[in-house]
Amino acid sequence: MSSWTDYLITDSPASRRQARLGQFYRQWLAFRRNPLAVIGLVIVVALLLIAAFAPLIATHNPLTQNLDGRLLPPSAAHWFGTDSLGRDIYSRIVYGARVTLVIVLLVVVTVGPLGLLIGAASGYLGGWVDRVLMRITDVFLAFPRLVLALAFVAALGPGLENAVIAIAFTAWPPYARVARAETLIIRNQDYISAVRLQGASQWRVVLRHVVPMCLPSLIVRTTLDMAGIILTAAGLGFLGLGAQPPIPEWGAMISTGREQIFDQWWVATFPGIAICIVALGFNLLGDGLRDVMDAR
Amino acid sequence: MASLREKWAGRSVRWGRIAGRELSTVAITMFGLLLVTFLIARVIPIDPVLAVVGDNARPDVYEKARLDLGLDKPLWQQFAIYIGKVFSGDLGTSVLTAQLVTEDIKRVFPATLELATLGTLIGVSLGIPLGVLAAVNQGRWPDQIARVIGLFGYSIPVFWLGLMGLLLFYAKLGWVGGPGRIGVAWQDFVTPVTGVLLIDAAMQGEWEAFWDGFSHLILPSAVLGLFSLAYVSRMTRSFMITELQQQYVIAARVKGMSEARVIWHHALRNAVVPLVTVIALSYAHLLEGSVLTETIFAWPGLGRYITNALLNADMNAVLGGTLVIGAVFIGVNLLSDIFARLADPRAR
């Protein structure tokens, strides 16, 4: 045990891997001291576990309708009650974690690399490339995000994939901004000149040396952005433009509970709490990561 | 004397340059907005005509719509025509209301403006003091409260909060009016002049209608206000922390000024310039947030107009609404930039 910590916190790492692991370990020690950040991490890990083991955690099939048991209040048999088609709300929320996670991951996988590449290219190459790319970014930043996503889905037609495309289409500019700001600092460093003097091509410099240095601030940015993505996706689902029924999506579930809100409050209340907890988790985690990884 | 004249000439040249730069930014952003809405309308849908007339149109209606849209012309010409139409105030006809989209938007926009304005007022009047207190008591309980409110503001779906608010304050407690802008009983008492119901009611002396309208307005604007509050208080806190570390604050304290005067008079005053930008941004975002809020509260504003149009595949109305909200965004950004330049001597 102690030999492991010695290995990790040594001041003179013998290999690149040891140095990297040591840095992770130090960041983890700093992260652990922040209780709110740890709560955020626990929530996010719980979301991952619930999504992975949904069939084991759910008590009912999320799609099975039972018209005799419509709109039952929370009870021992149905922990969060049932909705207007007699489906178990608890089980639907559990499976809904999968939908939420898929949306978030798809958006991040599209937006992260795109924003990173645009920002890094813009900052590193400078000149007219920078001017054109940043102008486009500014134009997109000046747009109302949700409304633009709405118009986009309206043209593409409702559905999970189209909601993801619409959110990604409106979410990339801040990433490009962050990556560009980082790149502007990095590009004048000595080691970049060294690589360039060795004859590396511009693409090699950007992809192998600039992009990795931008990653920490981009990871922080992404985590903080996750909550916004979840809320936008839930908003689209609520308007009936995201995941289509019978997929258990939290925003759409709130929308089905809307008509019964005054009599059967549980239908809309519990999915909303789920959204709040998950968004809060990502916000707390992002705040904690920012303090650790991105001191500026 | 001559040098003074040169100075003034230099200043006006610089002002000209700044104005030119601002104008070109606005023009480019506006062009981008038009391009994106045009692409959404004409290029993304498989058949833009169907998107306008609907699935069950007769062939002659379809053909007329196709020619009206100018789809027989090349794309760049269509775009040029589109820009021309937008600038002459023609956003097409709404399928749903069978009226001009421009007229529809003129009718519904004041309701949204009313909602977003009161929301921003709530957010600013609570958010700035909260942010200042948090900055002054960094790490102590006012700071923690501000932090929790901020976190909730960034984590709660606005439409869910609206539903919960209706459930609690309208259905259970009966403190506020329900969905809609005014009770049915008062509907015909106020003739629309400005379109902003509270102003119209006050001008016509219909005070009971005014208070009924207010009871309907307060909950949706409080819901929106929470989000503005979260953002404004967080930004106020960070601006104030920066200001309180400046040397002029130490100087003011050394001179023996009261702490309250140092904080509220000296430090906050310097934080006002960036704060105005923040408030302008949050105002623009509330206009957007109203899309979801208005749906919950059956508020007859631009947001509900857009969502209704969406659900009925009424593309002209959707894009018209998008364009208007986008234009407001651009306008608000421009105004806050101009204000920042005028208010801060260093930026002149």
| Pick among B34, B91, B159 to test the A interface (most A CBs inside 10 A) | B159
**Contact between chains at A148 and B326 (C-beta distance less than 8 A):** yes
**Contact between chains at A272 and B287 (C-beta distance less than 8 A):** no
Q: Which chain B residue is nearest to residue A225, measuring alpha carbons? A: B154
**Contact between chains at A142 and B306 (C-beta distance less than 8 A):** no
Nearest to A239 among B166, B307, B325 (CB): B307
Residue B51: the pLDDT is 65
Report whether B329 contacts B313 (CB < 8 A). no
**Contact between chains at B51 and A155 (C-beta distance less than 8 A):** yes
Residue B229: the pLDDT is 93
| Pick among A131, A141, A143 to test the B interface (most B CBs inside 10 A) | A143
Residue B2: the pLDDT is 53
B29: distance to nearest CA of chain A, Å? 5
Q: Rounded CA gap, B143 and A258, in Å?
A: 35
B184 and A CB contact within 8 Å: no
Q: Kind and range of the H or E element at B334?
A: helix B315-343
Residue A49: the pLDDT is 94
Parts of chain B with a pLDDT under 50: 1
Q: Which chain B residue is nearest to residue A229, measuring alpha carbons? A: B155
Q: Which chain B residue is nearest to residue A138, measuring alpha carbons? A: B29
> What does the CA dihedral B38, B41, B47, B52 come to, rounded to 10 degrees?
-130
DSSP class of residue A68 equals G
pLDDT in tens, B316-325: 888 888 888 8
pLDDT in tens, B130-148: 999 999 998 888 888 888 8
Residue A206: the pLDDT is 82
Q: Please name which of B233, B274, B279, B238 lies closest in space to residue B120, comparing C-alpha atoms.
A: B279
Report whether A84 contacts A267 (CB < 8 A). yes
| Residue-range domains of chain A with CATH | 46-62+76-293 (1.10.3720.10)
B26 and A CB contact within 8 Å: no
- Phi/psi for A60 (5° steps) reads -135, 170
**Contact between chains at A254 and B159 (C-beta distance less than 8 A):** yes
B281 and A CB contact within 8 Å: no
> How many C-beta atoms surround the C-beta of residue A23 within 10 A?
13
**Contact between chains at A238 and B156 (C-beta distance less than 8 A):** no
Whole-prediction pTM: 0.85
Q: What was the ipTM of the complex prediction? A: 0.85
Could you tell me which residues come within 8 angstroms of residue B196 by beta carbon, excluding any fewer than 6 positions away? B110, B111, B113, B114
Report whether A97 contacts A47 (CB < 8 A). yes
**Contact between chains at B292 and A235 (C-beta distance less than 8 A):** yes
Q: Where are the beta strands (DSSP E) in chain B?
A: none
Q: Rounded CA gap, A104 and B204, in Å?
A: 51
B166 and A CB contact within 8 Å: yes
Parts of chain A with a pLDDT under 70: 1-2, 294-296
**Contact between chains at A147 and B29 (C-beta distance less than 8 A):** no
CB < 8 Å to B160, chain A: 254, 268, 271-272, 275-276
B192: distance to nearest CA of chain A, Å? 28
**Contact between chains at B160 and A136 (C-beta distance less than 8 A):** no
